[in-house]
Amino acid sequence: MRVLGIETSCDETGVALFDTERGLVADALYSQIAMHAAYGGVVPELASRDHTRRLLPLIQQVLDEAGLSRGELDAIAYTAGPGLVGALMVGAATAHGLARALGIPVLGVHHMEGHLLAPMLEEERPDFPFVALLVSGGHTQLVEVRGLGCYTLLGESVDDAAGEAFDKAAKMLGLDYPGGPLVARLAESGDATRFRFPRPMTDRPGLDFSFSGLKTHTLTAIRQLESSGALDDQARADVARAFEEAVADTLVIKCRRALDQTGLKRLVVAGGVSANVRLRERLEHECAKRDARAYYPRGRFCTDNGAMIAYVGAQRLLAGERDETGVMKAVPRWPMDRLEAPSSAPA
C-alpha cells in the first residue's frame, strides 16, 4: 500500500510517501518559522494561509521524487488533531478532496501517535512494548506502549510543556523564536556550576511534570542579575545552562521511574525536544545503567513531519480503518488515551 501522509497541525507543512513494502519513499517539509519569528510565536491565521499555499506543490514534489503519479496512490493519511483547527482543516480538506477524486480511502490520524511511532521509520526500530517520552512544544507525556493503539498514560505536564518552557526561557533571555535550539546553543558556553535551578516535582512520587515553577525561577534569576548590573553575555549563557540542565534532569528522572515502574527495557523519545543533545546524553547514560536502550527518530523527524503521519496512517489503513465518506476530522484537543487499537492491528 502506498500512503500519502499530510501534516498541517501547526507551523510546518509536511508531506511524505510511505510504501508498506519499501518503507519511506520520499518526504518534504516546509517550515514557517521565519514567518512567525517576527511575532514571537505562531499566528494561527497566517499558519493556515501558508499551508494552503504550500501543500499542493509539496505533494507534487514528493510524487515527483518518488516517480509516481497521483493515480498510483492507494490511500491518504492526514493529521486530524490535536493542533490549530484552521491549519488542521487545510490538511483535512486537501486529503479528502484528493482521495475522493482518486477514489481511494482517506484517514485522519493523531498527531502525537505520529511522534510516538516516528522511531519505527528507522532501520533499528523498537519492538513493543516500550515506554515513550513525548516531549515537544505542546506536550510532555510518558506513555506505556503495548502495541498500535494500546497506550497507557503514565504521566504528563500539569502546566507548561517542556518545549513551551524552553520558548519562554528564550524570550526572557532575549532570544528569538523558536527558542529551544537557541537556548541549547547558548547553554554550550555556560558554566554548569554557577547556578542550580530546581528539578520540579522530582521530590515527590509520581510521573507527572511541571515546568511553570522552573520558568518563574528562571525569570527571578534574570531579574536579580539585571538589578545588580550583572546580566552580561556570560550570565545569560550560565542561566541558559542551568535551565537546560534542570529540564534534562527532570525528564531523565521521570523516565527512570517509568522504566522501573513498568519493568520495561526500551525507551522511545520523540518530539521536538528529543533532539536536545544534553537530554540524549543523560538518557543514554541512564539506560546504560539499567541495561535498557533508548530509541529516537532521526533529526528531521523529531519535529512535525509528514513521514510519521504516513507511517501511522499506513498501519491503521492496513487494519481496515478509514474516514467515512465526506466526513473530515479536525480535532484541536484530542487526548491520546482516547485512541483505540484497530480490530486487526498489524505486527
- The H or E element spanning position 91 is helix 85-102
Predicted pLDDT of residue 139: 86
Tens place of pLDDT for every residue, the chain, 347 residues?
999 999 999 999 999 999 999 999 999 999 999 999 888 889 999 999 999 999 999 999 999 999 999 999 999 999 999 999 999 999 999 999 999 999 999 999 999 999 999 999 999 999 999 999 999 878 899 999 999 999 999 999 999 899 999 999 999 999 988 888 999 999 999 999 999 999 999 999 999 999 999 999 999 999 999 999 999 999 999 999 999 999 999 999 999 999 999 999 999 999 989 999 999 999 999 999 999 999 999 999 999 999 999 999 999 999 999 999 889 999 999 988 889 999 765 54
What whole-number distance in Å separates Cα of residue 332 and Cα of residue 84? 6
The count of other CB atoms within 10 Å of the CB of residue 261 is 16
Which cell numbers in the block locate residue 49? 494561509
pLDDT score at 178: 84
Burial of 21 (0-12, 13-18, 19+ CB in 10 A): exposed
Residue-level pLDDT at 138: 81
So what's the pLDDT on residue 345? 52
CA distance 204 to 41: 33
49 vs 92: CA distance, rounded Å: 14
Report the C-alpha gap between 131 and 116 in whole angstroms.
Answer: 10
Backbone angles phi, psi at 50, to 5 degrees: -70, -35
